[in-house]
Structure 1
């Protein structure tokens, strides 16, 4: 019997060593700088020494369409990428914004939908045209109600510091007053006439014209796109908005313009332009999209984008949120 026990233990020993080795080389421990973490979004790259944030837009629909699917995977991505914050490009509440800080929309379209622990971080929020159909002041005031909702004014800036001590300057602009056709319907957009586009544009130029040598990256966040291959490809408002801001962004070396409004996912960088546009407006409803001059990527899929600054690169991953899982559709890099 003793001999049989010894033989059994000797047979068991290699298997035990193998299992122990497998535990010691898990994805969490084997990758010190870059690799894969977890299995919720297996293709999503993470960077331990990177500065990451997530971007979504056009989402507030009481969980309808794909909002819950996108929210679920946004939470997974926030944990996988160790996201510093969430960026919303506007149209936070459909169809007519919110009426007050006590509006049920806050609970039904935000608090109860984005409840993954990874999403209890800072949200920096821009205003969309549907937000303007309600009280924009209520969205500003909700910053005092919610720990994570940040909208100190209709437009504002925030400077982040990366792991390497470099700075990212991010401007959140209010694009709605710059859309000419909205002024034809003052009842629909009651707060529009109160906005001063001259003052805001001056602020944008002064803020981008920084002399801080530590600022390596410049990002502008707004709702309306400069370019689109989607529903508004030949839209007069889109062409007008491009004429107002594309040259200005190039002049001040804005690395990325992040927007929504179109309910799809697009990356567009026209020839001879410095600024790359990232359109992430598929947080709930999805529409057909297409290409235009400068289109790098376009997809009519529900989802969002992850941004990571690591070393001399900004790495953008476009994530599709399926009903039961997620996948990375495209990866794009800006190198400086």
Structure 2
């Protein structure tokens, strides 16, 4: 069974981290993971979501292209924006789907870096706690999944938010799906805690770039559209603290939407495997780019510049977007 050549994680540290998850998740501060930038002062990342289908629906092809682009960019880490394992998450830490949908698919040398992951709604349909279990890091040391946490990359900070509990219909109208609300219920109390922790982290952040990651859309022109709970509860906070990017999955496509009343750019990277076709609903926000198909995003950051690139399933560059902090321009 292959494991990645990431920094070794001792069994002691794994057990210690696992024993403190419950305490940290309920504290007033998000757990932080430092991830230094390169010596040249840059940071390169790939972001992908909605992928875990044992290689089917072109997941393997997307993974191959991620490996190729990852090598070109010399990426520092990968962001997974949720719905990591279909259709219903993992059954437990011994579920072979973890190996068949993750370890055996993202095999390129360039992808043997840390993966920072959040849970999606499909992950909550299975054993959500299993994906958070540090035992999975023994199986593949790249894997790190928590409900909400921070990655501190010097001039850039990444705030990962557990968005599934925000969506009321999963609680009131679950249809035939079971949701694993262990460590989450009651909903109102949990959401209040998440927002409090995020508010504190964003308020204290001195980072040049503030990037928030969640599974669910805030703005989208595809099937799911805007997530009204996030528009109401999360978006005002992002605007208030000058967040630059919100990156999500959930809609199985690639999108870039600019806010009309703030600098926030909404990026959807939900094309890791199965994609939807022919679904488009106009938005009142400014649509910069929409690709109703599979693919992923790259992000390269320095202290002054950000470059966002969208790639399709064949690795073709679909859109390039540049931001400059000094000039306050978007190109």
Give the C-alpha shift of residue 74 in structure 1: 0.5
Is 1:292 equivalent to 2:283 in the alignment? yes
Q: CA deviation at 1:261?
A: 0.1
Specify which of 142, 146, 152 is matched with residue 140 of structure 2: 146
Q: Does structure 2 conserve the Cα–Cα contact (< 8 Å) formed by 1:101 and 1:139?
A: yes
Unaligned runs of 5+ in 2: 1-39, 326-331
Q: Select the structure of larger CA radius of gyration.
A: 1
Q: Name the structure 2 match of 1:69.
A: 61
Aligned to 2:194: 200
Matched ranges for 1:155-170 at <5 A: 155-161=148-154, 167-170=155-158
How far apart, CA to CA, are the structure 2 residues paired with 1:211 and 1:171?
Answer: 10
The Cα offsets for residues 102-153 of structure 1, whole Å up to 9 and x where unpaired, read as: 10101111111111111110000010000001112111112354210012x3
| Mapping for residues 20-169 of structure 1, pairs under 5 Å | 50-141=42-133, 142-151=136-145, 153-161=146-154, 167-169=155-157
TM-score when normalising by structure 1? 0.78
Distance 1:220 1:63 in 2: 28
Cα deviation, 1:61-90, whole Å, max 9, x if unaligned, reads 111111011000001111110000000000
Shift of 1:239: 2.4
TM-score normalised by structure 2 residue count: 0.80
Q: How many residues align?
A: 276
Which residue, 272, 277, 301 being the options, matches 2:266?
277
Where 1:331 maps in the other structure, the secondary structure is strand
- Partners of 1:223 and 1:302 lie apart in 2 by 16
Cα drift, residue 205 of structure 1:
0.2
Gaps of 5+ in 1: 1-47, 162-166
CA–CA distance in structure 2, aligned partners of residues 285 and 273 of structure 1: 32
Q: Is the 8 A contact 1:227 1:239 kept in 2?
A: no
**Residues 175 and 247 of structure 1: is their aligned pair in 2 closer, same or farther, counting only changes over 3 Å?**
same
Hey, what's the Cα distance between the residues in 2 that align with 1:52 and 1:222?
Answer: 19
Shift of residue 242, structure 1, vs aligned partner: 1.1
